Chains A and B, each alone.
Chain A
Amino acid sequence: MVKEYHIEPVTRLEGHAGMVIVIDNNGKVDDVQFNVQSTRFFEKFCEGRLVEHLPRITPRICGICPIPHHISCVKAVEDAWGIKIPTPAFKLRELLVNAKQYASHVLHFYALASPDFLLGPFADPSTRNVVNVINKMPDVGVMALKMMDFGQKLGAAIGGKSVHPVIGVPGGMRKALDEDDRDLFLKQIDEQIEFTKKTADIALKVIEDYWDVVSKVGEVPTYYIGLTKNGVHELYDGDLRVVTPDGKKIDYNVHKYLDVIAERVLDHSYTPAGYYKPAGYPEGIFRANTLAMINAVDKMGTPLADEALKTFRSRLGNISHHTFAFHWARIIETIASIETIKKYLEDPDVVNPDQKIADVEPREGEGIACIEAPRGILLYHINSDDKGICKKINIIVSTNLNVGGIEKSLKYTAKQIIEDNALNNIKLPEPWLK
């Protein structure tokens, strides 16, 4: 008998999705679908808007990563209009996107992912959540809240609001960070670095405990895509780097993105699946996000994160296809973010009032920009007419670049569990929390 399992909705996820697993007559996994259930057609209703308003409209695509949307969008407008922003604005944007990366990664690790590990995958669903983690491990809970608070408050201090920031404008930033605010965050930075180290320790302990899961479950070869600058980890200003399943790295200027990324509309999902165009679908299925970045970089570029990268590679190799290693990779990026935040908080340019060029004129043109958001690259392609009205916009969010990979790894894992009874051969630790 054909069996269909419907999961509605997928929980602890930013966005709206369901999942369908179809088992055929012979007990084999026939199909696995990841059904993204909503889209709001920003690609259409942004047409006709004034281009300078887009960076204040499109952050509403995602409330977790509005800062990357805001910044990637304003960069694309500047690209279309041929604008070069002042150096202080460049640095302030770097600081802003790192603040977001930090807060989001901590939120992901503690609120979305940690309940699976700390309470174990077979815990009662009603207890498997961050509220329970906070109640059972108040010290860790308070630390996690303080970390998210730091990143979000820094984002708000720079961006005006942390959710749906407004600070960027074609030509630069509207205002520098206040010196008083800067001093306040600088005072907390060493404590935050300590928190990050503690978080890394917790994560490493979890990885050791779940080593069987990390190394054996869902190891699925795909292509990867991320942002690097001369091979170094970068969030704001880099080139696209594609990593092939066998670990070859190929760099592309973001303006060439149409040679790199193509999409397939899936019958069963409102998010099309991105793939590496030269390889086609499904061979060229991408994964973006933290593991993609860790596979892409030659180095992280900050001392603690580079140490962490060395440990990672000594255990999982120079290229890792381990789906559960996304969590580990996320920790490495968290370390890089807090180190980068420190670097820019100590840079006087972030409080330098020279944040915007005064002479900005719209012109006809196409602008393409990409930044690395918490869940992968985020690309904007904007067509402006000579009055600065948006004629066309294409937005590639990280979900598009992950949907194919999510389905591929789900299908592989479903086969492991349902067909090969893999759970019998996997060692699971006693849960930390009960």
Chain B
Amino acid sequence: MSVKVAFLQLSDCWGCHQSFLNSDLELAPILPNINIVYWPAVVDFKLESIKLMEDGNIDIGFIEGCIRTNDDEKNAKLFRQKSKFIISFGACACYGNVSGLANLFSLEEQIKRKYVTCETVDEQYRKEPTKNVSGFRNKVNALDDIIKVDAYLNGCPPRSEQILGLIQYLLGQKPFPRHELSFCTDCDIKENCLLKQGILCFGAVTSSGCSLKCTKNGTSCLGCFGPSLKNDVRVTELISMIKKVDIKNKDNKNSIFKFLSLFLNVPLISGFEISNDPLKNVTLKDQLDKNNLLYPPETRELVSILLNILKNSDAFHEISTVCDTCPRTRKKNEIVSIKREFKGIPNQTDCFIDQGYICMGPITKAGCGALCIKVNAQCDGCYGQTQYNCDQVNRFFDKVTHDFNMKITNRDFLNQVIDPIGIFERFTLAKNKNYL
């Protein structure tokens, strides 16, 4: 049985879809399992066909784009009504993207610039279009300001691997189990079971057959061998432990984070957040083929709870920033002035901040794989902030003062960056309530 999938585009650029299509040959195992019921970029269904559907008819709705026009709002609500599960697809939907910078101006100013004072618009043709067009909302919003969202895929655009990973996960194709029995059957320290000592260990849901056997050295199994077909009985204990886990504890946080990344085999889990136990929502309604689920239901429950924790804890996001995935080395040089991007030629091995450039790495969520940094470009934060609704400029300044050898005062810093909003809120201004 195939899963009904719809792709909706609001005010956006198509880039998330291009990123999905960039998976190219890897699309092959997915396409036969999905039934595309709406995707204007690729297939010919019209909006009318969605309106005629019963509520909840679509299994998974991907929504790309920010809420800029009245149609954006209307269509987002329509898709919420018709879909069991909504994915906020990409930076525009998740936090507004650069389009949110429009919130710095009044709508009148924006319309005037584009349709009245524009150099190329001839004097006799200056006016605001009003016939058979959608109309603009005063402010740009992210998707979850308008409708309830079940999952988020960060990034501008989200990496192909993440999009594929999420779809495969929802289809039950990922993670793929390796062996029948769980790691616990192979474990050398059965009598001193780490779980019994209150340490998070994921051996009960992880496949046997690995040769590393981390538990031998007293460290817990983090699931890198993927799921087993049958779980060990300890899974019940693991789930109840997870339900009341103290996530302020650094070891717990790290274990959960590493487990999800390794076990799900989704590159950097932070770009892949699922809230409200969505998989249950979908599977309970019997719309996803349960036969597709190759691993035990407790495993899915466990993962679902963990993803929920990941989504809802701000503290969690902080453990994984672009810096954590950056290949450059820290030099701890004194930072005495801020260089603009065009100044000099940064060397390709040392941290940009240590070289005096602004790089958004310390306050940006990981998940991108530091692609920009690898071509000698500073991170500009497209994967979203690790915290929202705070003064991002000062948060950056505090972090850099704390973690780097910063010799500039706050005031000088602000003078030197010139356009703090355009730098530190470039992708997320739509989420900043001070500008709504």
Taking Cβ atoms with an 8 Å cutoff, the residues of A that contact B are 7-16, 18, 20, 33, 35-45, 47-50, 52-53, 56-57, 60-64, 66, 107, 111, 125-126, 128-131, 134-135, 142, 145-146, 148-149, 152, 156, 158-164, 166-167, 169-171, 174-175, 258, 261-270, 272, 274, 277, 281, 356, 358, 360, 362, 381, 387-389, 394, 396
The complex places the Cα of A262 from the Cα of B119 at a distance, in Å, of 8
CB of B132 within 8 A of CB of A41, answer: no
CB of A38 within 8 A of CB of B105, answer: no
Q: Which of B336-356 contact A (CB under 8 A)?
A: 340-346, 348
Identify which of B44, B98, B341 contacts A169 (C-beta below 8 A): B341
CB of A64 within 8 A of CB of B48, answer: no
The complex places the Cα of A371 from the Cα of B44 at a distance, in Å, of 31
B426 interface residue (CB < 8 Å to A): yes
CB of B121 within 8 A of CB of A263, answer: yes
Stretch at the interface among B8-16, B76-84, B185-193: B8-16
CB of A360 within 8 A of CB of B343, answer: yes
Closest A residue to B16 using CB positions: A63
CB of B377 within 8 A of CB of A381, answer: no
The complex places the Cα of A258 from the Cα of B119 at a distance, in Å, of 8
Identify which of B17, B97, B119, B377 contacts A167 (C-beta below 8 A): B377
The complex places the Cα of A43 from the Cα of B44 at a distance, in Å, of 32
CB of B133 within 8 A of CB of A35, answer: yes
Q: What are 6 sample pairs from A and B whose C-beta atoms fall under 8 A apart? A: A11-B41, A41-B105, A148-B24, A162-B22, A164-B156, A268-B131
CB of A9 within 8 A of CB of B102, answer: no
Q: Enumerate chain B residues within 8 angstroms of A11, measured Cβ to Cβ.
A: 40-46
The complex places the Cα of A50 from the Cα of B102 at a distance, in Å, of 15
Excluding A57-B422, A148-B22, A267-B131, 6 further A-B contacts by CB distance (< 8 Å) are A9-B40, A37-B133, A39-B11, A148-B21, A164-B382, A265-B126
Identify which of B43, B345, B380, B418 contacts A389 (C-beta below 8 A): B418
B115 interface residue (CB < 8 Å to A): yes
CB of B130 within 8 A of CB of A267, answer: yes
What is the distance, in angstroms, from A12's C-beta to the closest C-beta of chain B?
7
Closest B residue to A165 using CB positions: B375
CB of A170 within 8 A of CB of B342, answer: yes
The complex places the Cα of A57 from the Cα of B31 at a distance, in Å, of 33
CB of B121 within 8 A of CB of A264, answer: yes
CB of B115 within 8 A of CB of A265, answer: yes
Interchain residue pairs A-B with the least CB separation, the first 10: A63-B15, A160-B375, A125-B44, A264-B125, A63-B13, A63-B14, A166-B377, A41-B110, A45-B101, A174-B376
The complex places the Cα of A167 from the Cα of B24 at a distance, in Å, of 24
CB of B17 within 8 A of CB of A63, answer: yes
Closest B residue to A400 using CB positions: B120
* A152 in contact with B22 given A49-B419, A262-B120 (CB within 8 Å): yes
**Interface size class, chain B:** 35 or more
With a 10 A CB-CB cut-off, give which of A9, A161, A261 has the most chain B CB atoms. Answer: A161
B372 interface residue (CB < 8 Å to A): yes
* A39 in contact with B45 given A263-B121, A268-B131, A389-B418 (CB within 8 Å): no
What is the distance, in angstroms, from B234's C-beta to the closest C-beta of chain A?
43
B18 interface residue (CB < 8 Å to A): yes
The complex places the Cα of A160 from the Cα of B380 at a distance, in Å, of 13
* A38 in contact with B68 given A52-B341, A146-B25 (CB within 8 Å): yes
CB of B423 within 8 A of CB of A53, answer: yes
The complex places the Cα of A13 from the Cα of B45 at a distance, in Å, of 13
CB of A264 within 8 A of CB of B104, answer: no
CB of A396 within 8 A of CB of B44, answer: no
Q: Which of B1-55 contact A (CB under 8 A)?
A: 9-19, 21-22, 24-25, 27, 31, 36, 40-48
CB of B47 within 8 A of CB of A164, answer: no
Q: Enumerate chain B residues within 8 angstroms of A130, measured Cβ to Cβ.
A: 42
What is the distance, in angstroms, from A256's C-beta to the closest C-beta of chain B?
13
Q: Enumerate chain B residues within 8 angstroms of A9, measured Cβ to Cβ.
A: 40, 46-47
Q: Enumerate chain B residues within 8 angstroms of A60, measured Cβ to Cβ.
A: 13, 15, 97-99, 156
Identify which of B36, B66, B114, B127 contacts A131 (C-beta below 8 A): B36
Identify which of B128, B132, B374 contacts A160 (C-beta below 8 A): B374
Contact with A along B310-347 (1 / 0, CB 8 A): 00000000000000000000000000000011111110
The complex places the Cα of A36 from the Cα of B122 at a distance, in Å, of 20
Closest B residue to A128 using CB positions: B44
Q: Enumerate chain B residues within 8 angstroms of A45, measured Cβ to Cβ.
A: 98-99, 101-102, 104-105, 110
CB of B130 within 8 A of CB of A66, answer: no
Q: Which of B361-377 contact A (CB under 8 A)?
A: 371-372, 374-377
Identify which of A40, A49, A277 contacts B99 (C-beta below 8 A): A40
CB of B44 within 8 A of CB of A44, answer: no
CB of B120 within 8 A of CB of A394, answer: yes
* A50 in contact with B340 given A35-B133, A62-B14, A258-B120 (CB within 8 Å): yes
CB of B342 within 8 A of CB of A281, answer: no
Q: Enumerate chain B residues within 8 angstroms of A47, measured Cβ to Cβ.
A: 113
The complex places the Cα of A201 from the Cα of B254 at a distance, in Å, of 56
